[in-house]
Chains A and B, each alone.
Chain A
C-alpha cells in the first residue's frame, strides 16, 4: 500500500512539467543563495515564500524544499572556493575543502561535495519516506497536552543548541511566542495588542517577519562589512574522480545516516549534523589521519550529513507539525499560508500531497546532482559578483517580497522593523532561530495549552499525568539541563 502510494507520488511529480520546473528552479535558487556568504537557506526560503502564492501548494512547497536542499549544498561552494562558508552547515566542509582548493583541486573537492550531498539527501529521503508515516500514525493519538508538550520540547531543543546562553535562547523563544499573540485571540476571538491598528487585527504576517529577521538584518550587517573575494581560475572541471567515490562510499552512507538522525531531532539542524559526522570520521580515522589537510573524506562526511539532515528535519515537521530547524519553520509557515494545519491529522488526510512531496524531495536530490555537476562553474563565477550591487538588490527583493504578501506598505514597514530587531539582536547575542520558532509555534502552543487547561479545569497536573506529555516534558527539561552542564563544563575549561 505504502509502496503504491510512493509510486503514485512519483508519477504525480514526474508527469507534471510545472512541478519539475518548480523543483529545479528551487534548487538553482537555493544553490545560488546558499553559495553567497552571509545568506542562508532560511533567507532563500524567506525571500521565495511570497512567490509561492497563487501556485498550487505542492509546487510552492517543492520549490522551497528545492531551495532548502540547494541552499545547504550551495554553502559548500564558497567554503571550498573562498574559505567562507556560505551557510553555517558548510563550516565543517571548509576544514578539508579549502586546503584541497589551495592545492589546485577545487574542482575535485566540489565534485565530491556534490555527489556526497546527493547521496546524503537520497538516503535521508528514503529514511523520511519510511519513518514519517509511522511517526504521524503515533501522533494521531496525541491530544492537546501532548501537542503542547511537543512544542515545548521542540523549543527546548532549539534553545539548547542555538547559542552559548540559555537565558538569551529562552528569551528569544518567548519573544517569538509573544509576537504570535498579537491580533485575534485564537480561542475567544477578541483582539490583543493591536493598539487600534487595523492591519494588526489578523496578527503580524509571518513572511515580513522572516524577510526582516533573515534578509534585511543580513543586509544591515553587510553594510558594516562587505566581503571581498579572491579571483578564481578561469576554467575548472567540477567532476569527482571515480577512485575518490569508491574510497569515500561508506563514509558517505554512514554520515548520511548520522545526518538524518541528528536532523530529525527538533532544533538540531544541518550544521550540528555536519559537525557530528565530521567528529565521527575523525574518531574512526584515528590520530594519524590527514584530516584538515585536504582529505576527500573530510568533505564527504559533512556534506552527506548536512544534506541528509535537510530531509531528517522534514520528518517531525510533516508528521507532527514541529519544525526541526529554522528552514523547516519557514516550510511549516508555508503550509499554514496555503491553508493547511500541519500535524498528524494533516498527514493522514492529505496522503496524495504528502507522497507527492516525498517523491519531490527525492527528485530534488537528482536535480541537485545535475545542477551541481553541470552548473557549478557558473555559480563559482556568480558568487564573486560585486557585493556593492548584490546586497542592495537583495534589500530591494526583501521589500518587494514583503509587499507582495498582501500588497500592503504596512508589511514593508514590518520587514524593516524586524530587520532592525534582527540586526540588533545579533549584535547583543540574542539568537534568531528560537525567536522564529517561537513565532511559528506560538499559536499552536497557545491553543493547546488553553485547551488542555479547559480540559483539566485549570489544573497544570494534566501535563504530567499522561505518559507521552510527561516524557516530552521530561525531554525538554533534560535538554535544558544538558545545556547548562555543557556551558558549565566549557566555562570551567576556559
Chain B
C-alpha cells in the first residue's frame, strides 16, 4: 500500500467531524445548563435545581463518552447544500412574514422550496403555491380567526 493511500485512509472523514462538533456542542450546552441550574435550587435535595442538574449532568457525561468511545459512523454523514438552502428559505419566510406579509411571502417560499427540490414547471409551481397558501389563509382567518401576519397587505385584508 502506498504512503498516500495510507494517509487517505487515516484522514478523519467529514462526517466524523460533524459528529464530534454536535457532541462537543452538547457538552458545552449541558455544562452551561448544569451551571445555570444552581440558581433554581432552594438548598434542599428536592429543590427546583435537582432535575435540571440531573438531566444536564447525564447529557454532559454521555456526550463526553460518545465523543471519545463511540465507533465512527460507517457512512460519514455530511450536510448537503440543498438542506441548508431549505433552512435558509424557511428562516427568510419567517423573518419577512411580519413586515412583508404572509400573502406574498408564503407563495414565494413554497414556490422557491419546490424549485430547490427540482420542480421546474412555472405554471405548476405558481398554481400549487398559490392554492396551498390561500387554503391555509382561509382556514386560519375564517375558522380560527387568527390569520398569519398580513404585513403590507394589512389594509386590504
Asked whether A187 and B48 contact (CB < 8 A) given A167-B70, A175-B59, A413-B94, the answer is: yes
User: What does the 1/0 interface line of B83-106 toward A look like (CB < 8 Å)?
Assistant: 101110011011001100000001
- A223 partner residues in chain B, CB cutoff 8 A: 80, 82-83, 85-86, 116-117
CA distance A464 to B140 in the complex (A): 52
**B127 shortest CB reach to chain A, Å:** 11
Q: Which of B33, B69, B114, B148 contacts A193 (CB 8 A)?
A: B33
B63 touches A171 (CB 8 A): yes
Q: Which of A54, A165, A400, A427 contacts B66 (CB 8 A)?
A: A165
Asked whether A171 and B62 contact (CB < 8 A) given A192-B40, A395-B113, the answer is: yes
- B66 partner residues in chain A, CB cutoff 8 A: 165, 167-168, 171
Residue B56, interface by CB 8 Å: yes
**B21 shortest CB reach to chain A, Å:** 9
CA distance A309 to B94 in the complex (A): 39
- A399 partner residues in chain B, CB cutoff 8 A: 90, 93-94
Asked whether A450 and B110 contact (CB < 8 A) given A171-B59, A175-B59, the answer is: no
Q: Which of B42, B63, B97 contacts A188 (CB 8 A)?
A: B42
- A190 partner residues in chain B, CB cutoff 8 A: 40, 48
**B46 shortest CB reach to chain A, Å:** 4
Q: Which of B22, B82, B144 contacts A428 (CB 8 A)?
A: B22
Residue B128, interface by CB 8 Å: yes
B59 touches A458 (CB 8 A): no
- A446 partner residues in chain B, CB cutoff 8 A: 51
Q: Which of A226, A425, A428 contacts B117 (CB 8 A)?
A: A226
**B50 shortest CB reach to chain A, Å:** 7
Asked whether A220 and B86 contact (CB < 8 A) given A226-B117, A389-B114, A389-B128, the answer is: yes
Q: Which of A424, A430, A449 contacts B51 (CB 8 A)?
A: A449
- B122 partner residues in chain A, CB cutoff 8 A: none
User: For the side of the interface on A, what is the size category?
Assistant: 35 or more
CA distance A72 to B83 in the complex (A): 28
Q: Across the two chains, which residue of chain A brings its CB closest to B58?
A: A174
B59 touches A174 (CB 8 A): yes
- B148 partner residues in chain A, CB cutoff 8 A: 403, 409
- A222 partner residues in chain B, CB cutoff 8 A: 117
Q: Across the two chains, which residue of chain A brings its CB closest to B30?
A: A178
Residue B28, interface by CB 8 Å: no
Residue B26, interface by CB 8 Å: yes
Kindly list the 10 A-B residue pairs having the minimum CB-CB distance in the complex, ordered from nearest: A458-B45, A407-B146, A453-B46, A171-B62, A174-B58, A427-B77, A178-B55, A392-B113, A446-B51, A388-B119
Interface residues of A, Cβ cutoff 8 Å to B: 54, 165, 167-168, 170-171, 174-175, 177-178, 181, 185, 187-188, 190, 192-193, 219-224, 226, 386-389, 391-393, 395-396, 399-400, 403-404, 407, 409, 412-413, 416, 419-420, 423-425, 427-430, 442, 445-446, 449-451, 453-454, 458
20 A-B pairs with CB atoms under 8 Å apart are A174-B59, A174-B62, A178-B56, A185-B40, A188-B47, A188-B48, A192-B40, A389-B124, A395-B86, A403-B148, A404-B140, A419-B87, A424-B18, A424-B22, A427-B22, A428-B19, A450-B51, A453-B50, A458-B44, A458-B46
